[in-house]
Amino acid sequence: MRVRRTAAALSLTLAAALTTGAAAPAATSSQLHYSQAEFPTGTTTAPDGSTLFTDPAGRTLQLRGFNVDKYDETTEADVRSIAAHGFTLLRVAISWNRLEPARGRYDSTELGKLRQLLSWADRYGLLALIDFHQDVYGPQFGGGDRGIPVWATRDDGLPFVPDPSDWFAGYFQPSVQAAFRHLYDDPDLRQWQAEFYTRIASELRGYRSLLGYDLFNEPFGPIDGDPTDPSVLAASSAVLEQGRLAAMYQRLIGAIRSVDNRSWLFVEPTVLVGQGVPTQLPGFTDPRAGAPRLGYAPHFYDTAVENGADWNPSDGFIGAYTAAITGYPRAHRLPVLVGEWGPPNPRTPGNTELVREQVAAMSGFATGWTMWYWCQGDGGYCALGTDGRPAPGDGPAFAPYPIALAGRPVTVSFDGTTYTLEFSTGQGGWSELAIPPGARVRVTGTPVAVVDTSRPGHARVLLPRARPGTAVTITVTAGS
């Protein structure tokens, strides 16, 4: 019996033939055709002032994908499934502690796992952003085995009292504050950190899939005063971003550039950007030959939702965040790649709306994003439910999008049943979109359009007679 596809079907999957892990069918890469994610070689400025990635042909790129939280647990089937769902990017969290467990001694097994993951990304046409990850500094403070190693932790013997109900409160503990201060200030720790970054960049520089590096996950540092006072937090964040953190980023940019002239290097603001506090980071110098390859990688989290609440659409979060996030990258002409976003439970009504609003907002200010994170389960940030389909509420993250566009996007909309992309054409060439299998693609605004949907989950559109600047609309609707 034929069943008509519904709005949910359009949102659900870009390649229903594959799900994750054990649920994936036994197809080989030679039997399937994966999009080859284009490495961005440059940028262009959109009419609204945002900076977009471009490929060698001048097409604007959208990089979308997922965090793979524990690279040693990520399987080839996971990587294959992400690619088969039409995504092009992985964000890979790595740990200094695990890769260099003792000063100067690197764990060959851990390095091998990381190289294996990038080999899979190569095979399935993905790009990978390596995230130098930390949460509450490192394992000295109860963060498991991730973060900055104990041998690089100096807490001045100050107390640390964990709060099981609020892991983030650990950042305010005197010992953690001291550890960050030493990391930023002590010459030997600075040198050891730079050596670690140089070693990792040297190990990974040969992979086609390597997009680049997120230099420091969710940076934090010393707070001068009461951390429960928002004004104190904002002032301390500004001092950190303008001083210690900026100096760290410039050092680490230099460390990676000593061995890698190709990769993109992304700086993060403090997490206060999620509360509508604009970053005070300065501009940075890229010593590579040619145009700079620097970017901005904020996170997009609502504090109340992170603490278990259902999102309140009237709280002003989306507007405040967007206003806080756009000024800095536009002033410094940096592409924005949102490194983490997504509610822990998208199934509640408010959080379902939050996902929809976040995807729409990022289409306006970001040239890419990676959702937190790729796993299969019932809640706990997992993008896929237990059946291997997108988790209820996460559908908009799986909606159609332009992988590579022969022009500049103007407006994008998705109402759950119809995806509409308006763009201004460039110098010609193929545009490529991720679409649901069986979807219909219609092009208006130009008399001649070649549309190729022969590959499941993928559409190619050629406008051979469109003059640069022609207004074109591509509409994607579910097939029946």
Kindly list the domain boundaries of the chain, sorted by start residue.
Answer: 62-399
Q: Judge residue 217's burial from the number of C-beta atoms within 10 Å of its C-beta, 0-12 exposed, 13-18 middle, 19 or more buried.
A: buried
Residue 35: per-residue pLDDT: 65
Q: Kindly list the distances between the CA atom of residue 419 and the CA atoms of 340, 450, 456, in Å, as whole numbers in the listed order.
A: 24, 19, 17
Q: For residues 49 and 47, give the distance between their C-alpha atoms in angstroms, rounded to a whole number.
A: 5
- CATH class of the domain at 62-399: alpha beta
Residue appearing with tokens 């999957």: 13
Contact by Cβ (8 Å): 93, 141: no
H helix or E strand, kind and range, residue 181:
helix 174-185
Which residues make beta-bridge pairs with 419? 414, 476
Q: CA-CA distance, 207 to 127, in Å (whole number)?
A: 10
DSSP summary character for residue 454: -
Q: Which of 341, 345, 349 is nearest to 308 (CA)?
A: 345
* CA atoms of 17 and 457, how far apart (whole Å): 10
Helices 317-332 & 349-365, crossing angle to 10 degrees?
A: 20
Task: Say if CB 171 and CB 220 are below 8 A apart.
Answer: yes
Q: What is the pLDDT along the chain (480 residues), one digit of tens a residue?
A: 222 223 333 333 333 322 233 333 333 333 345 668 999 999 999 988 999 999 999 999 999 999 997 667 899 999 999 999 999 999 999 999 999 999 999 999 999 999 999 999 999 999 999 999 999 999 999 877 889 999 999 999 999 998 888 888 999 999 999 999 999 999 999 999 999 999 999 999 999 999 999 999 999 999 999 988 999 999 999 999 999 999 999 999 999 999 999 999 999 999 999 889 999 999 999 999 999 999 999 999 999 999 999 999 999 999 999 999 999 999 999 999 999 999 999 999 999 999 999 999 999 999 999 999 999 988 789 999 999 999 999 999 999 999 999 999 999 999 888 999 999 998 778 999 999 888 999 999 988 789 999 888 899 999 877 788 999 999 999 876
Handedness of CA 400, 401, 405, 407 (dihedral sign): positive
The DSSP secondary-structure symbol of 376 reads B
Cis? peptide before 373, omega within 30° of 0: yes
